[in-house]
Chain A
Amino acid sequence: GENVEQHPSTLSVQEGDSAVIKCTYSDSASNYFPWYKQELGKGPQLIIDIRSNVGEKKDQRIAVTLNKTAKHFSLHITETQPEDSAVYFCAALMRGNQFYFGTGTSLTVIP
Protein backbone atom coordinates (compact mmCIF):
# COMPACT_ATOMS: atom_id res chain seq x y z
CA GLY A 1 0.00 0.00 0.00
CA GLU A 2 0.89 3.65 -0.08
CA ASN A 3 3.17 4.94 2.63
CA VAL A 4 5.52 7.70 3.73
CA GLU A 5 8.70 6.93 5.66
CA GLN A 6 10.33 9.55 7.86
CA HIS A 7 13.76 9.70 9.52
CA PRO A 8 15.04 10.24 12.11
CA SER A 9 12.41 9.60 14.75
CA THR A 10 14.25 11.78 17.26
CA LEU A 11 16.74 14.58 16.72
CA SER A 12 18.64 16.73 19.20
CA VAL A 13 20.62 19.78 18.09
CA GLN A 14 22.35 22.65 19.79
CA GLU A 15 20.70 26.03 19.49
CA GLY A 16 21.94 27.74 16.35
CA ASP A 17 22.75 24.52 14.52
CA SER A 18 20.78 23.14 11.57
CA ALA A 19 18.28 20.28 11.61
CA VAL A 20 17.40 18.05 8.67
CA ILE A 21 14.47 15.63 8.47
CA LYS A 22 14.04 13.28 5.52
CA CYS A 23 11.02 11.53 4.03
CA THR A 24 10.42 9.09 1.19
CA TYR A 25 7.10 8.31 -0.45
CA SER A 26 5.76 5.43 -2.49
CA ASP A 27 3.39 6.96 -5.07
CA SER A 28 5.28 8.44 -8.02
CA ALA A 29 2.14 10.38 -8.96
CA SER A 30 2.18 12.38 -5.72
CA ASN A 31 2.39 16.10 -6.45
CA TYR A 32 2.01 17.93 -3.16
CA PHE A 33 4.10 17.64 0.01
CA PRO A 34 3.31 19.65 3.17
CA TRP A 35 5.25 19.70 6.43
CA TYR A 36 3.55 20.09 9.79
CA LYS A 37 4.73 21.06 13.26
CA GLN A 38 2.84 19.66 16.23
CA GLU A 39 3.23 20.97 19.74
CA LEU A 40 2.01 19.12 22.79
CA GLY A 41 -1.76 19.11 23.08
CA LYS A 42 -2.31 20.81 19.74
CA GLY A 43 -3.15 19.77 16.23
CA PRO A 44 -0.53 19.77 13.46
CA GLN A 45 0.18 23.21 12.00
CA LEU A 46 1.42 23.73 8.45
CA ILE A 47 4.91 25.26 8.32
CA ILE A 48 5.84 24.88 4.65
CA ASP A 49 4.75 22.97 1.58
CA ILE A 50 6.11 22.19 -1.86
CA ARG A 51 4.51 21.16 -5.13
CA SER A 52 6.07 18.78 -7.60
CA ASN A 53 6.86 21.43 -10.19
CA VAL A 54 9.65 22.93 -8.05
CA GLY A 55 12.72 21.43 -6.43
CA GLU A 56 13.17 23.77 -3.49
CA LYS A 57 11.24 26.31 -1.46
CA LYS A 58 12.41 28.60 1.34
CA ASP A 59 10.64 30.58 4.01
CA GLN A 60 13.05 32.40 6.32
CA ARG A 61 14.83 29.72 8.36
CA ILE A 62 12.88 26.84 6.86
CA ALA A 63 13.44 25.17 3.50
CA VAL A 64 12.12 22.08 1.79
CA THR A 65 13.76 20.19 -1.08
CA LEU A 66 12.13 17.65 -3.36
CA ASN A 67 13.70 14.97 -5.54
CA LYS A 68 10.89 13.45 -7.60
CA THR A 69 13.13 10.93 -9.31
CA ALA A 70 14.22 9.45 -6.00
CA LYS A 71 10.81 10.09 -4.39
CA HIS A 72 12.19 11.84 -1.37
CA PHE A 73 11.86 15.26 0.21
CA SER A 74 13.56 16.94 3.14
CA LEU A 75 12.95 19.69 5.67
CA HIS A 76 15.85 21.95 6.62
CA ILE A 77 15.71 24.27 9.63
CA THR A 78 18.66 26.63 10.02
CA GLU A 79 19.72 28.65 13.08
CA THR A 80 17.50 26.53 15.30
CA GLN A 81 15.88 28.09 18.36
CA PRO A 82 14.36 26.47 21.47
CA GLU A 83 10.87 27.28 20.20
CA ASP A 84 11.53 25.02 17.21
CA SER A 85 11.33 22.05 19.62
CA ALA A 86 8.26 20.02 18.60
CA VAL A 87 7.23 16.98 16.57
CA TYR A 88 7.46 17.42 12.81
CA PHE A 89 5.47 15.41 10.28
CA CYS A 90 5.93 15.15 6.55
CA ALA A 91 2.99 14.25 4.34
CA ALA A 92 2.31 13.39 0.73
CA LEU A 93 -0.91 13.73 -1.22
CA MET A 94 -1.66 10.41 -2.89
CA ARG A 95 -4.50 8.53 -4.56
CA GLY A 96 -6.42 11.57 -5.61
CA ASN A 97 -7.11 13.44 -2.42
CA GLN A 98 -5.74 11.44 0.48
CA PHE A 99 -2.77 12.55 2.59
CA TYR A 100 -0.35 10.01 4.02
CA PHE A 101 1.76 11.11 6.97
CA GLY A 102 5.17 10.08 8.19
CA THR A 103 5.58 8.77 11.72
CA GLY A 104 7.06 12.02 12.99
CA THR A 105 10.38 13.42 14.18
CA SER A 106 10.69 14.72 17.72
CA LEU A 107 13.09 17.66 17.52
CA THR A 108 14.76 19.00 20.65
CA VAL A 109 16.79 22.20 20.46
CA ILE A 110 19.17 22.45 23.36
CA PRO A 111 19.77 26.02 24.58
Chain B
Amino acid sequence: GAGVSQSPRYKVAKRGQDVALRCDPISGHVSLFWYQQALGQGPEFLTYFQNEAQLDKSGLPSDRFFAERPEGSVSTLKIQRTQQEDSAVYLCASTSSAPSPLHFGNGTRLTVT
Protein backbone atom coordinates (compact mmCIF):
# COMPACT_ATOMS: atom_id res chain seq x y z
CA GLY B 1 0.00 0.00 0.00
CA ALA B 2 2.87 2.40 -0.69
CA GLY B 3 2.06 5.89 -1.81
CA VAL B 4 3.94 8.04 -4.30
CA SER B 5 7.65 7.90 -3.55
CA GLN B 6 10.11 10.62 -4.53
CA SER B 7 13.87 10.69 -4.26
CA PRO B 8 16.02 12.32 -3.18
CA ARG B 9 14.13 14.28 -0.52
CA TYR B 10 16.71 17.04 -0.62
CA LYS B 11 19.16 18.01 -3.32
CA VAL B 12 21.75 20.77 -3.25
CA ALA B 13 23.32 21.58 -6.59
CA LYS B 14 25.84 24.15 -7.65
CA ARG B 15 24.71 26.45 -10.41
CA GLY B 16 25.38 24.82 -13.74
CA GLN B 17 25.13 21.23 -12.52
CA ASP B 18 22.60 18.75 -13.89
CA VAL B 19 20.13 17.06 -11.53
CA ALA B 20 17.74 14.12 -11.85
CA LEU B 21 14.68 13.73 -9.66
CA ARG B 22 12.87 10.43 -9.42
CA CYS B 23 9.21 9.61 -8.92
CA ASP B 24 7.74 6.18 -8.25
CA PRO B 25 3.94 6.45 -8.58
CA ILE B 26 1.26 4.33 -7.00
CA SER B 27 1.15 0.96 -8.74
CA GLY B 28 -1.43 0.89 -11.51
CA HIS B 29 -1.82 4.66 -11.79
CA VAL B 30 -1.67 5.53 -15.46
CA SER B 31 -1.42 9.31 -15.08
CA LEU B 32 1.62 11.04 -13.61
CA PHE B 33 2.14 14.74 -13.07
CA TRP B 34 5.10 16.90 -12.12
CA TYR B 35 4.57 20.18 -10.28
CA GLN B 36 6.91 22.91 -9.08
CA GLN B 37 6.11 24.57 -5.77
CA ALA B 38 7.85 27.80 -4.80
CA LEU B 39 7.91 28.86 -1.17
CA GLY B 40 4.49 30.09 -0.06
CA GLN B 41 2.84 29.23 -3.36
CA GLY B 42 0.57 26.55 -4.72
CA PRO B 43 1.83 23.78 -7.00
CA GLU B 44 2.47 24.92 -10.58
CA PHE B 45 1.97 22.41 -13.38
CA LEU B 46 5.07 21.28 -15.26
CA THR B 47 4.18 18.21 -17.28
CA TYR B 48 1.82 15.24 -17.52
CA PHE B 49 2.15 11.62 -18.66
CA GLN B 50 -0.44 9.03 -19.48
CA ASN B 51 1.40 5.74 -19.33
CA GLU B 52 4.66 6.41 -21.20
CA ALA B 53 3.27 9.18 -23.38
CA GLN B 54 4.01 12.75 -22.42
CA LEU B 55 0.71 14.42 -23.27
CA ASP B 56 1.39 17.91 -22.00
CA LYS B 57 4.68 19.63 -21.29
CA SER B 58 3.44 23.17 -21.58
CA GLY B 59 4.45 24.02 -18.01
CA LEU B 60 8.15 23.25 -18.37
CA PRO B 61 9.83 26.64 -17.88
CA SER B 62 12.67 26.15 -20.34
CA ASP B 63 14.37 23.61 -22.57
CA ARG B 64 16.68 22.85 -19.65
CA PHE B 65 13.82 20.84 -18.15
CA PHE B 66 13.15 17.36 -19.45
CA ALA B 67 10.92 14.57 -18.16
CA GLU B 68 10.52 10.96 -19.13
CA ARG B 69 8.55 7.88 -18.17
CA PRO B 70 9.91 5.21 -20.51
CA GLU B 71 8.02 2.19 -19.20
CA GLY B 72 4.90 3.92 -18.00
CA SER B 73 5.81 3.64 -14.33
CA VAL B 74 8.80 5.42 -12.77
CA SER B 75 9.40 8.94 -14.03
CA THR B 76 12.48 11.15 -13.96
CA LEU B 77 12.56 14.93 -14.12
CA LYS B 78 15.92 16.20 -15.31
CA ILE B 79 17.12 19.76 -15.05
CA GLN B 80 20.22 20.68 -16.98
CA ARG B 81 22.57 23.54 -16.14
CA THR B 82 20.65 24.44 -13.00
CA GLN B 83 20.04 28.09 -12.17
CA GLN B 84 19.17 29.70 -8.84
CA GLU B 85 15.61 30.31 -9.97
CA ASP B 86 15.17 26.53 -10.25
CA SER B 87 15.27 26.29 -6.44
CA ALA B 88 11.88 24.95 -5.36
CA VAL B 89 10.08 21.84 -4.21
CA TYR B 90 9.33 19.48 -7.07
CA LEU B 91 6.20 17.42 -6.47
CA CYS B 92 5.13 14.31 -8.29
CA ALA B 93 1.53 13.09 -8.27
CA SER B 94 -0.30 10.15 -9.78
CA THR B 95 -3.90 9.25 -10.40
CA SER B 96 -5.83 6.36 -11.87
CA SER B 97 -8.17 8.22 -14.23
CA ALA B 98 -9.81 11.61 -14.56
CA PRO B 99 -11.64 13.03 -12.81
CA SER B 100 -10.09 11.66 -9.66
CA PRO B 101 -7.81 13.16 -7.03
CA LEU B 102 -4.08 13.45 -7.38
CA HIS B 103 -1.97 11.52 -4.90
CA PHE B 104 1.19 13.46 -4.13
CA GLY B 105 4.61 12.40 -2.99
CA ASN B 106 6.47 14.39 -0.35
CA GLY B 107 8.52 16.17 -2.97
CA THR B 108 12.17 16.88 -3.62
CA ARG B 109 13.49 20.16 -2.28
CA LEU B 110 16.06 21.46 -4.73
CA THR B 111 18.42 24.21 -3.67
CA VAL B 112 20.76 25.69 -6.27
CA THR B 113 23.69 27.58 -4.82
Contact = CB atoms under 8 A, between A and B. Distances in A.
Interface string B95-113: 0001111111111000000
Given A32-B99, A98-B48, A42 B41 contact: no
Contacts of B93: 43
A36 B91 CA distance: 14
Interface stretch (A45-53, A69-77, A78-86): A45-53
A8 to B, nearest CB: 14
Given A46-B103, A93-B99, A104 B45 contact: no
B45 A43 contact: no
A102 B98 CA distance: 19
Interface residues of B, number: 24
Interface string A92-104: 0100111111111
A103 B41 contact: yes
Nearest to A97: B98
Contact of B42 (A32, A42, A51, A89): A89
4 nearest A-B pairs in the assembled complex, by CB-CB distance: A43-B104, A32-B99, A101-B42, A46-B101
15 contacts: A32-B98, A36-B104, A43-B91, A43-B105, A43-B107, A44-B102, A44-B104, A46-B101, A46-B103, A89-B43, A97-B55, A99-B33, A104-B40, A104-B41, A104-B42
